[in-house]
Amino acid sequence: MDDDTPYDICVACECGDLPISESELRRTIERTLARHACPKACLSVALVDDARIAAVNRQYLHRRGPTDVISFDLGGDDHGVDGEVVLSAETARRESLSRGHSVAIEILLYAVHGTLHLLGFDDRTQAGAKAMHEEEDRILTELGYGPVYGSDAR
């Protein structure tokens, strides 16, 4: 962990070349944590392919097929977050084409999304998903990437 940050973020890429810099990924996650006044965090971020995330999805969530991102809360408390974020770089490549932006932005979206889940956001309802998408847009806009979902991102 850097001495100047309360966040310990470890990034691993199991899917070949990392399509984004580790520092950019860390900075985005740190911004998400700081925006929600998270005092400290220990996070592991794994970029994997669709086959690997499908296996994780099946094993832990009992769902079939690949997904974009899965978060695991490893027991953080009121004083911080301890978790793992697994995201599919392969899904990000595919989705970035359909959304019309770079794979890097799609990966950052997944990182923000997974981190927001660890911070207590829930997108299982329409209202929850709307709030989560608005917050994702705000964070990505603050970092200079612009909104993904088209909100005013204020």
- What is the distance between the alpha carbons of residues 99 and 71, in angstroms, rounded to a whole number? 23
Answer whether 72's CB lies under 8 Å from 111's CB: no
Percent of the chain with pLDDT over 90: 85
pTM here is: 0.93
- What is the distance between the alpha carbons of residues 146 and 7, in angstroms, rounded to a whole number? 24
Q: What is the mean pLDDT of residues 21-50?
A: 96
pLDDT of res. 75:
86
Sign of the alpha-carbon dihedral angle for 134, 139, 145, 146: positive
Answer whether 47's CB lies under 8 Å from 18's CB: yes
- What is the distance between the alpha carbons of residues 134 and 147, in angstroms, rounded to a whole number? 9
Domains, the chain, in order of start with CATH, read 7-120 (3.40.390.30)
Largest CA distance in the chain: 41
| pLDDT tens profile 88-107 | 999 999 999 999 999 999 99
